[in-house]
């Protein structure tokens, strides 16, 4: 008997994404039984926001994709890190019999986001059939807005990460097999959902409250601005190549950024459910210096005298680093990074993993982040991110002077103490300044941010000829496939991205 895909999702998702959460199971297929009163709505939606958070912001998939992007370096087998960091790159082997930890690179965001959508649909369906907080008043409007925002966030990340995904709304017949939608279609529907959430928040006005992100309470204005910022992120970073990036809807992106966030967005770690990948990439957290280091490509961006790939001294007899301690005109090398004289990765796994630096901004700038596990904020969308997207949109719309003004008013000067750009600087110089700020200032903020940026920044690069701010390495997966177990349920063959058969990381291989 053929098991329908959505039924399979309902059986598996919540236990994977919200394990141990003491709430109603939002994936009970009998919505009318689960959501019978207004008191049931908030617990279900809270669990759904957590499912989205855990699916997008935890060690899976962030560590593997960030290492694939040369943001961090780590040779350990955990989280798919070693295999995503191989040089030359290998394909993501999307098979049901693969190592369970490795499979989570695709399964965690897939199931987490679909779980969140399923629960949001349950809440919207309950409101439609008369379950109410205040008979259609501001509380109902706030609840609807929160559910639509969550669907927008979930569909947006499915569009960013996967080549295809599922769109199921509250009225969708889940007894029928749901067709796949392309990543472009996922981004379009995500923007539409966020627009709907914005309109609902405007209707609720001053009585609007959103408190589903741990430690963050949003009024209508803050909620609306966050929706605009995420819409801009999805539209700008969905491109898989530089050519796609050139044809992105930059006018719409600009409009969203102009109404985007004015305060940093960072939910709080709670030591139990709300945690993030940060504990594995920061220096001096509870995990210690054992885990990921900053990739040598970013050290070369800070100090152009450094190579973009760590020398293979033992394997190939290359010249060692003349000075492992980098120097930079950028003040952030000293404030945000910590030098470690020794490497702790095994030589036999590849000297390209080596680096003498860890990200240390969480220690020198306590307002930036906590430990990613039990204490402090987990930076997810910085004002600087929104402003750099705005500057990029202006540059691509041939409004360079305005783009330069934004860059000079931002972190390039305020934190980096770098020289201001000239309004007459070449477009390539201005664009490089944007890529540089996105790589250095936004490191350890938006999940997988550098992976999303490198795939749209330029052509793929041979691992022996890397530059600092250019594209992904040849063969790096630039999107994820639908998990093999989902394809098996559909009785379809699983497929891969990346590796020698797919140098751009965007063509299905089998």
Sequence-separated (6 or more) residues with CB below 8 Å from residue 46: 23, 212
Mean pLDDT of 69-78: 97
Sequence-separated (6 or more) residues with CB below 8 Å from residue 77: 83, 101
pLDDT in tens, 25-58: 334 445 665 688 899 999 999 999 999 999 999 9
DSSP state at residue 22: -
Q: Which of 13, 34, 32, 12 is nearest to 23 (CA)?
A: 34
Q: Which of 47, 237, 69 is nearest to 123 (CA)?
A: 47
pLDDT in tens, 298-314: 999 999 999 999 999 99
pLDDT in tens, 450-463: 999 999 999 999 99
In the chain, the percentage of residues whose pLDDT exceeds 70 is: 92
Coil vs helix vs strand at 461: strand
Residue 335 CA to residue 306 CA, distance in Å, equals: 19
Predicted TM-score of the model (pTM): 0.94
pLDDT, position 463: 98
Sequence-separated (6 or more) residues with CB below 8 Å from residue 76: 82, 291, 345
pLDDT, position 175: 83
| Average pLDDT of every residue of the chain | 93
Evaluate the CA torsion angle 482, 438, 274, 127 in order and state its sign.
negative
pLDDT in tens, 179-192: 999 999 999 999 99
Cα 133 to Cα 123, 140, 169, 171, 280: the distances in Å are 12, 6, 22, 21, 41
End-to-end alpha carbon distance in the chain: 26
User: According to the 3-state scheme, what is the secondary structure of 313-350?
Assistant: HHHHCCCCCCCCCCCCCCCHHHHHEEECCCCCCCHHHC
The residues pairing with 282 across neighbouring beta strands, listed in sequence order, are: 359
């Amino acid at each position: 008997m053929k098991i329908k895909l959505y039924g399979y999702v309902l059986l598996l998702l919540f236990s994977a994404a919200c394990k141990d959460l003491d709430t109603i199971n939002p994936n009970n297929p009998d919505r009318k039984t689960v959501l019978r009163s207004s008191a049931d709505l908030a617990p279900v939606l809270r669990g759904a926001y957590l499912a989205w958070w855990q699916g997008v912001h935890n060690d899976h998939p962030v560590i593997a994709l960030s290492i694939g992007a040369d943001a961090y370096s780590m040779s350990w087998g955990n989280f798919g890190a070693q295999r995503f960091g191989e040089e030359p790159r290998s394909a993501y082997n999307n098979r049901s019999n693969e190592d369970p930890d490795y499979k989570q690179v695709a399964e965690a965001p897939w199931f987490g986001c679909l779980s969140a959508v399923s629960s949001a649909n349950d809440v919207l369906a309950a409101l439609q059939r008369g379950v109410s907080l205040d008979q259609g008043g501001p509380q109902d409007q706030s609840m609807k807005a929160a559910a639509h925002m969550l669907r927008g966030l979930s569909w947006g990340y499915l569009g960013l990460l996967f080549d295809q995904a599922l769109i199921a709304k509250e009225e969708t017949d889940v007894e029928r097999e749901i067709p796949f939608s392309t990543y472009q279609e996922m981004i379009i529907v995500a923007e539409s959902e966020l627009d709907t959430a914005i309109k609902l928040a405007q209707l609720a006005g001053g009585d609007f409250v959103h408190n589903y992100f741990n430690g963050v309470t949003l009024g209508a204005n803050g909620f609306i601005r966050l929706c605009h910022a995420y819409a801009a992120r999805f539209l700008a970073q969905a491109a898989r190549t530089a050519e796609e990036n050139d044809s992105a809807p930059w006018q719409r992106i600009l409009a969203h950024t102009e109404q985007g966030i004015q305060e940093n967005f960072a939910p709080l770690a709670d030591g139990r459910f709300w945690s993030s990948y940060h504990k594995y990439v920061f220096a001096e957290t509870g995990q210690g210096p054992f885990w990921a280091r900053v990739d040598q490509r970013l050290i070369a961006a800070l100090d152009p005298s450094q190579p973009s790939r760590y020398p293979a001294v033992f394997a190939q007899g290359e010249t060692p680093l003349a000075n492992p301690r980098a120097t930079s005109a950028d003040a952030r090398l000293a404030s945000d990074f910590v030098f470690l004289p020794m490497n702790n990765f095994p030589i036999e796994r590849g000297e390209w993993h080596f680096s003498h630096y860890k990200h240390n901004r969480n220690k020198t700038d306590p307002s930036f982040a906590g430990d990613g596990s039990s204490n402090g904020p987990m930076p997810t969308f910085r004002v600087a991110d929104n402003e750099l997207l705005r500057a990029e949109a202006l540059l691509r719309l041939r409004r360079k002077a305005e783009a330069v003004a934004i860059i000079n008013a931002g972190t390039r000067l305020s934190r980096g103490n770098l020289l201001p750009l000239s309004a007459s600087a070449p477009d390539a110089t201005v664009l490089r300044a944007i890529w540089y700020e996105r790589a250095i200032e936004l490191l350890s903020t938006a999940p997988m941010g550098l992976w999303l940026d490198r795939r749209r920044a330029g052509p793929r690069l041979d691992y022996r000829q890397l530059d600092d701010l250019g594209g992904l390495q040849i063969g790096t997966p630039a999107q994820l496939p639908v998990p093999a177990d989902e394809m098996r349920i559909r009785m379809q063959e699983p497929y891969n991205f990346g590796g020698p058969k797919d140098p751009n990381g965007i063509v299905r291989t089998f």
